[in-house]
Homo-oligomer: A and B are copies of this chain.
Amino acid sequence: MKKSMGPRTLAFPTPVWVVGTYDKEGRPNVMTAAWAGVCCSKPPCLAVSLRKATYTYGNIMLRQAFTISVPSEAYVQVADYLGMVSGKEVDKFAAAKLTPVRSELVDAPYVQEFPLILECKVLHTVEIGLHTQFIGEILDVKADAAVLGEKGLPDIEKVKPLVFGPEVRTYHGLGKYLGEAFSLGRKI
């Protein structure tokens, strides 16, 4: 028997991605977002939704660019912090002891300490309601050499991305390997 929970954002899991932008003075800012995901294969695109009240919203509207830096598990405290305070009031890179790196492809900075980076230019801006969705074309992905696995791709078990549970508000690590996609299903 299923129990009704009402209309709410109870969808498991979501990512924990850190959005990097420059403000109008060129100061780097970062904020954590969970309302996000991949949204197209060709061109490769991802979407991230932000409230208009955030500093990052204004920065993306201005620069039409952002980066996603994927924090590894060891940075869970930092990732949470970056979602709690506003770049309007705090230099979050300095406060969290993170190093901004200027992207050579888009007008946005990324986080040097995080193992996986996606550099995006805005393709579409979708007004939904409280949140505005920015669809960014992924111009490049960069990964630390230390997290590379077979075939030169980043190994997700080395990246150790965070996993978020909306509404229940919990962070989790990546769990055990369960099998290979487009392969396991052949047994059905």
Count this chain's copies in the assembly: 2
A159 at the interface (CB under 8 A from B): yes
Tell me the residues in window 115-168 of chain A with beta carbons closer than 8 Å to chain B beta carbons.
Answer: 116-118, 123-124, 126, 128-131, 133, 135, 137-145, 148-149, 152-157, 159, 161-168
Nearest-CB distance from A110 to chain B (Å)?
A: 9
Least Cβ distance of A109 to chain B in Å? Answer: 13
Contact across chains for A12 and B159 when beta carbons are under 8 A apart: yes
Bound CA span A79–B3, Å: 23
Q: Contacts A1-B145, A118-B11, A135-B126: A82 and B185 contacting too (C-beta < 8 A)?
A: yes
A44 on interface, CB distance cutoff 8 Å: yes
The 9 closest A-B pairs by CB, nearest first: A37-B37, A173-B175, A81-B185, A80-B185, A156-B165, A81-B188, A2-B142, A175-B175, A42-B130
Question: What is the interface of chain A, defined by CB distance below 8 A to chain B?
Answer: 1-15, 17, 34-47, 49, 51, 68, 70, 73, 76-85, 95-96, 116-118, 123-124, 126, 128-131, 133, 135, 137-145, 148-149, 152-157, 159, 161-188
